[in-house]
Amino acid sequence: MAEFAERGVTCIAISTDGEERTRAMADKIEAKSLRFGYDLPLSVAKDWGLYISTSRGKTSIGIEEPALFSEPGLFMVSPDQSLYYGSVQTMPFVRPHFSELVSALEFAIANNYPARGEYTGDV
């Protein structure tokens, strides 16, 4: 969190889970400086391109999955509210490494590197 803050990035974790389940995760990972949001509607998660999954019952660590939930995504939004970076996953494994993301952010800042994927015309 501190390394992102040093580069002008504010972080928040947002979940489609309710308050109780989200607070339990925050406590589990001992998140002292990370803000958490909860109750993100699944329709909004889908609008962000997140994949929606159905429950398989209990997870491998014994937690009951909700009937429907979003798979992980990581987004960096520019101060002008445009999407700068996005990563979505179909399952909760092999998430982006934050140390690599900080290095990429350093490069982007130092080189005034623009967001990509901005073309919206016909192909």
Round to whole Å and give the CA distance between 121 and 30: 45
Question: CB under 8 Å to 26, separation ≥6 — which residues?
Answer: 13, 34, 36
Range of the domain at 48: 2-110
* CATH number of the structural domain spanning residue 45: 3.40.30.10
pLDDT range class, residue 79, cuts 50, 70, 90: confident
Please count the structural domains in the chain: 1
Position 117 in a domain: no
- For the segment 83-103, what is each residue's pLDDT rounded down to a tens digit? 999 999 998 888 889 999 999
Position 43 in a domain: yes
Mean pLDDT of 107-122: 92
Position 119 in a domain: no
Strands 52-54 and 35-37: unpaired
Round to whole Å and give the CA distance between 89 and 83: 17
Quote the pLDDT of residue 20.
Answer: 93
Give yes or no for residue 61 having a pLDDT over 80: no
Quote the pLDDT of residue 108.
Answer: 93
Position 92 in a domain: yes
